[in-house]
Structure 1
């Protein structure tokens, strides 16, 4: 009854979603549905092409990624294996510091100071920890500013180098390399390939191959560099680099270079010296301070600027370094002795000199002061007395009476070696040979005052016909003494004397004095038709000065291995056996003294000093000589053209004598004059040309009047010869 009048409520499902808030706008379901459908249909139908190519592009990218990632993984594995391959082969650091394939030769002068080097010099091991900080910083600032942050290669550096090369019109790998210090060290190690004489024709060819730049080689270099980075610390890599880098003038490593150029250790160089050394890395020969000091200093200033920019130097420190540029050591600055050093290198066996695998020390007879004297004299004469542009050459040798060579100039370019005209050039000797003609006569008993007739003279030479010598002035001078004949360099008397004493005697004496080249067979022997070198001629004159004993010019005193005290070879002097009697030698010194005092060699006179010497001029003036001596030194000068062109207006008594004078004036500066060891003949008014107790024969058919020794003189000479033979001092002492 209670529900009467009420309708039963309809069954309604429970609401699953909350009711909309009042006031919310209601969208017609049909409109929303139809609008969304229309938009979706428009998008699908309007972008079908785009969707196709977009999908294709995404598919290709996925494919490339899959392939690339796998290739990259494979490449990484290959590179890793390659790095590991080199890694296990790399030796300890200590085995890589000395990169030379041959040894070095250090040459010391007569006082024990270094004056030249040959071969590849290695100054000793240095490390990145002990080297001067300025040098370490200079190398890093110059070569690889990111050295301590990269893993052996620098992609940024390579990209920058390629960009620079292309912008400068070169190939991508030509010019700038963008190599790190590690890569440069790898190249210095030749990527682990050792020098094999059986494979390479020479070390130069091997090193050229090591420096080749190809894409494949750069890739191998990068792998090798990464192996080094894995094997060694950064400082160990830098240590290898500092010890192996080539820095010009035969110096391997910064220690050798610092010793070569500055005479100090690389551990002691200052900022300006460090910058100069680091600047050599770009082009060792071009920037070597011994080649062009100013250019080397300009390069060093650039390095100092880099060091300042990178914070290694303050502005004040850089300014001080630039204001006080590096100075060369005395030995490096002089750059002297190149010809001498090359000559001495030939005095020992090749396996201890030119091709040595050891470090060798050679003590020599070289005198830097005398060398400078000779070089300055030659330069002064050519600058003041030879016409500009002349191609004429000259050579000088200075030695002691025992053959110890003190100075040598092999050509006008005095700071370098090369073709040595003092030791290599065989030239006709001309009248410089005449003293040996008179030496033969004097040794046979002639005196300086013996006479000879200067007159027309003809010899019939079998197979050649008549030979008629002429004097230089084309005149004849009648009867003259031997002294006068040599003094004025008369040709006819020289030939007459040679024929009188016998050509074989002249040839023997000349050969015994060291003139052992092919001597002329005919009468022209007396006039110097034979050839010889300047050093042998100077050595022969030294034999006259020392009293008549032969001389072998020498420069090597002692050769030993570095670090050893006992020499492997040595020489104390160059004097050999007696050639002519001491009396003959002293008489010849007198005759040669007259040639300088009043004869053809007057331009060689040295005020306050007694000088003996002889001029020489060959046919057509192709060679001009002056060789002479004081009591202290013998010096020889040759002048001529390398191609045998005749000299214009030059004789031995002209420019060669002046070069000799300028040389010896400097050589004797500060020395006390000493008299020559000469025997002056006693002149008598009644019998000019005789020694006391001497009489003359009427002649020998060649117009030469020869004095006969008295009985006492003969007995004395025989006694001296017997005593000499018994005592082993040679005949005539």
Structure 2
């Protein structure tokens, strides 16, 4: 504390000295200017002489004003970093998985710092020749270097600009400032470079620079970079390798050898040329290095250790540490098996389908119900792009945002079987359309979500209010900015994959808030626990009515069972989810969960170019299914050899086939072949089922069904009645057979009466035929009449009852037709 007080007293002395000096200097120049003007008038200086004298005088004045401004801004810069400057941005963080296995580092590697005297001479010369040839002669700022850079940049016809920053200025930028390019920051940077030169030796400055410079691929410092790229200590690098390392100082992302070895070797040649031009080496000295350029060790699949996850966890660790501790050991929530599975499925799908759908990027987040992130993929290849799309990219979620609107409607009083109208809606000049450009009229709230109808959520938001929709989304954990406008219910706000997956985790958690987190525990450099998630975070709170959330989960389960998300149906466990597709097919999502895991998947392009009709029910849903299957195998011991049989027992049931067939008949949105592919139901079974339902319309077999506690009746013809009133035709979403049915008794009815006019016409035609063929009129026996008028209805064949593992049952006759359903 006394040390800081002494430093502040020193600053106050400097401030008072500068104030008095500025006042005295200003007074001096004021008197000098009056004397100068008097002298010019007295000596009668005219013409070109007076012109040059005034130019010189004005130049000195501007230089003086600039000097004053420089020191004033510099004084503020010094105050900004007066406390703890040596610790600023010097985090050294080591990351471990949940089993305490080392997975990576971020920040400064204190255990890998190499003293300057132990560095090879060629490494030192390569850095100085490229970054700052006059390092040992300037005072932190190099006016001659600035002049050379200005002349080169003015005269150049192509290529990159020459920088004028010295190594000391670059170090000041790393220690104290951000990467913004403003005049004020440049002035402060130069001032702090002078301050560093006054407080540190040249070798100390150079040592700090070599230890703290970012060298690409998450590595800071020469030692870490040499170990990563060449598999050796920087003490042992040769001239070619030293040149390649020195080339990384300028732009590590562009010249990182594990990404673009050709560019890295080209940059190394530039460094070798600089060493010759600076007089450090001769052409003969660099000949062998040019002929035998450096090679890098094979670093396959860095994502196996979760580079995107570590980047996110590093930022979270810095927030938790809050500049109190800088050497940290972090135990994370990552599951390396799931991380590897996620990376593999993303890369495989982009490689196999990227060109087909014109899609180049994807991201995936998987977490437990409480928000513990197990896997996080921020792009297809971390080596080529470190931008974390799962965390930092805000994209439109499309229809995957709709469940949040439906939850707000359920809170408002709606129920899954509430009747709503799918019809055109006009809000000023905007009129949303359904995916198939058609409207189905009266339907249920459940069916509207299952079919991803656009008009319904827009109408719901108008009725319940946009503020309620936004409030519900915020309660579920959405941190993104949501604007109350007409298109909000259709998912036009920009939301990250991590954010939306967290909201679905809250739904999966029964309405208890699930904030995504990636850190279990943090220890400081001495091993003391400074943070524990279970101890230091607030207790989980209920943010949504569990009963309403249960209704929403029921609807989301139907989306996967027979709606737009059937390709995501796992079969071996109950699956819930929602697809999302944005305008012009720019984004495709699938958000889903089971009783154990929550996973969000996004596909799209960084430049927002449209894909080739890629929808959320396609590649994202298939990615979800593949990843979740692998996750259950790795995490929960699912046996693949029994997976196919179990999936068939749960998916290919007569009831699912009938429901799919009925949806096919009511709307062409779900084609028979799509249902067959997505739910793995044979096309023949679907067609046979549809035919059975059509034929069964002649029989009035009444069955009792229930939905949310309400009783209704449903005959074989598809007529649904509630309390004796007809409410619709066809099996409505949300209804299920209340109990297994006994073998049905099929009643064969008589032939219905025909229209009298049609009957008379038919009799006349028959008489004409008889007369033409000269057939004598004989008395037609009752037996022949009965034969002619016989109803073409076969007697019901032997009926067999079948059932699935979940208790679903049906009665199938000998021809394979389904007569009646049971559940």
Q: Which TM-score applies when normalising by structure 2?
A: 0.49
Q: Is the 8 A contact 2:450 2:564 kept in 1?
A: yes
For 2:473, the equivalent position in structure 1 comes to: 510
For 1:452, the equivalent position in structure 2 comes to: 419
Question: Structure 1 pair 586/124, CA: closer, same or farther in 2 (3 Å)?
Answer: same
What is the distance in 1 between the residues matched to 2:543 and 2:236?
61
Q: Is the 8 A contact 1:402 1:542 kept in 2?
A: yes
Task: Say which SS state the counterpart of residue 572 (structure 2) adopts.
Answer: coil
Q: Does 1:381 align with 2:349?
A: yes
For 1:400, the equivalent position in structure 2 comes to: 368
Q: Is the 8 A contact 1:402 1:575 kept in 2?
A: no
Q: Does 1:484 align with 2:453?
A: no
For 2:516, the equivalent position in structure 1 comes to: 553
Query: 1:420 is matched with which residue: 385, 388, 392?
Result: 388
What is the distance in 1 between the residues matched to 2:557 and 2:357?
35
Task: Say which SS state the counterpart of residue 578 (structure 1) adopts.
Answer: coil
Q: Does 1:472 align with 2:435?
A: yes
Number of residue equivalences: 525
For 1:431, the equivalent position in structure 2 comes to: 399
Which of the two has higher C-alpha Rg? Answer: 1
For 2:631, the equivalent position in structure 1 comes to: 667
Query: 1:593 is matched with which residue: 520, 536, 557?
Result: 557
Query: 1:108 is matched with which residue: 87, 95, 116?
Result: 95
What is the distance in 1 between the residues matched to 2:300 and 2:552?
41
Q: Is the 8 A contact 1:435 1:588 kept in 2?
A: yes
CA apart distance, 1:589: 2.0
Task: Say which SS state the counterpart of residue 426 (structure 1) adopts.
Answer: coil
For 1:624, the equivalent position in structure 2 comes to: 588
What is the distance in 2 between the residues matched to 1:389 and 1:470?
23
Q: Does 1:339 align with 2:308?
A: yes
What is the distance in 2 between the residues matched to 1:340 and 1:371?
9
Deviations 1:247-272 (Å, cap 9, x if unpaired)? 945656776568767999x6xx9999
What is the distance in 2 between the residues matched to 1:405 and 1:685?
50
Task: Say which SS state the counterpart of residue 531 (structure 1) adopts.
Answer: coil
Question: Structure 1 pair 492/697, CA: closer, same or farther in 2 (3 Å)?
Answer: farther
Task: Say which SS state the counterpart of residue 422 (structure 1) adopts.
Answer: helix
CA apart distance, 1:615: 0.6
Question: Structure 1 pair 119/202, CA: closer, same or farther in 2 (3 Å)?
Answer: farther
CA apart distance, 1:120: 2.3
Question: Structure 1 pair 568/399, CA: closer, same or farther in 2 (3 Å)?
Answer: closer
For 1:690, the equivalent position in structure 2 comes to: 707
Q: Is the 8 A contact 2:510 2:549 kept in 1?
A: yes
Q: Is the 8 A contact 1:624 1:651 kept in 2?
A: yes
Query: 1:532 is matched with which residue: 465, 489, 495?
Result: 495
After the TM superposition, which residues 258-277 of structure 1 pair with which residues of structure 2 at under 5 Å, given as runs? Answer: none
Unaligned runs of 5+ in 2: 1-85, 128-135, 137-165, 178-182, 268-291, 640-645, 647-658, 660-700, 713-721, 726-731, 736-823
What is the distance in 1 between the residues matched to 2:107 and 2:511?
39
What is the distance in 1 between the residues matched to 2:576 and 2:360?
26
Task: Say which SS state the counterpart of residue 486 (structure 1) adopts.
Answer: helix
Question: Structure 1 pair 102/618, CA: closer, same or farther in 2 (3 Å)?
Answer: closer
Greater CA drift, 505-514 or 637-646: 637-646
What is the distance in 2 between the residues matched to 1:203 and 1:363?
39
CA apart distance, 1:445: 5.7
Q: Is the 8 A contact 1:335 1:415 kept in 2?
A: no
For 2:408, the equivalent position in structure 1 comes to: 440
Question: Structure 1 pair 292/100, CA: closer, same or farther in 2 (3 Å)?
Answer: farther
After the TM superposition, which residues 155-304 of structure 1 pair with which residues of structure 2 at under 5 Å, given as runs? Answer: 248-249=215-216, 256=224, 280=245, 291=259
Q: Is the 8 A contact 2:423 2:440 kept in 1?
A: no
RMSD: 6.1
Question: Structure 1 pair 416/690, CA: closer, same or farther in 2 (3 Å)?
Answer: same
Q: Is the 8 A contact 2:304 2:336 kept in 1?
A: no
Task: Say which SS state the counterpart of residue 645 (structure 1) adopts.
Answer: coil
Q: For CA contacts below 8 A with separation 6 or more, give which structure has more relative contact order.
A: 1
For 2:806, the equivalent position in structure 1 comes to: none
CA apart distance, 1:527: 2.5
What is the distance in 2 between the residues matched to 1:376 and 1:338?
14
Question: Structure 1 pair 242/648, CA: closer, same or farther in 2 (3 Å)?
Answer: closer
Task: Say which SS state the counterpart of residue 638 (structure 1) adopts.
Answer: strand
What is the distance in 2 between the residues matched to 1:263 and 1:364?
27
What is the distance in 2 between the residues matched to 1:591 and 1:559?
40
What is the distance in 2 between the residues matched to 1:195 and 1:592?
49
Q: Is the 8 A contact 2:113 2:211 kept in 1?
A: no
What is the distance in 1 between the residues matched to 2:552 and 2:173?
62
Question: Structure 1 pair 330/666, CA: closer, same or farther in 2 (3 Å)?
Answer: same
What is the distance in 2 between the residues matched to 1:561 and 1:445?
51
Question: Structure 1 pair 664/575, CA: closer, same or farther in 2 (3 Å)?
Answer: farther
For 1:368, the equivalent position in structure 2 comes to: 336
For 2:379, the equivalent position in structure 1 comes to: 411
Deviations 1:590-631 (Å, cap 9, x if unpaired)? 321221121111222335233211011223333221111122
Task: Say which SS state the counterpart of residue 106 (structure 1) adopts.
Answer: strand
What is the distance in 2 between the residues matched to 1:126 and 1:525?
55
Q: Is the 8 A contact 1:485 1:493 kept in 2?
A: yes
For 1:34, the equivalent position in structure 2 comes to: none
Q: Is the 8 A contact 1:122 1:251 kept in 2?
A: no
What is the distance in 1 between the residues matched to 2:461 and 2:174?
60
Q: Is the 8 A contact 2:359 2:604 kept in 1?
A: no
CA apart distance, 1:101: 7.3
Deviations 1:162-205 (Å, cap 9, x if unpaired)? xxxxxxxxxxxxxxxxxxxxxxxxx9999x9999859x998999
CA apart distance, 1:453: 4.2
What is the distance in 1 between the residues matched to 2:468 and 2:247?
63
Q: Is the 8 A contact 1:402 1:551 kept in 2?
A: yes
Question: Structure 1 pair 479/422, CA: closer, same or farther in 2 (3 Å)?
Answer: same
Task: Say which SS state the counterpart of residue 661 (structure 1) adopts.
Answer: helix
Deviations 1:421-478 (Å, cap 9, x if unpaired)? 3223333322112212332344456543x1424442446xxxx538654321122334
Task: Say which SS state the counterpart of residue 118 (structure 1) adopts.
Answer: strand
For 1:118, the equivalent position in structure 2 comes to: 106
After the TM superposition, which residues 309-324 of structure 1 pair with which residues of structure 2 at under 5 Å, given as runs? Answer: none
Q: Is the 8 A contact 1:401 1:543 kept in 2?
A: yes
Q: Is the 8 A contact 2:424 2:439 kept in 1?
A: no
Bigger fraction of residues in helix: 2
Task: Say which SS state the counterpart of residue 480 (structure 1) adopts.
Answer: strand
Question: Structure 1 pair 588/453, CA: closer, same or farther in 2 (3 Å)?
Answer: closer
Task: Say which SS state the counterpart of residue 392 (structure 2) adopts.
Answer: coil
What is the distance in 2 between the residues matched to 1:498 and 1:685?
38
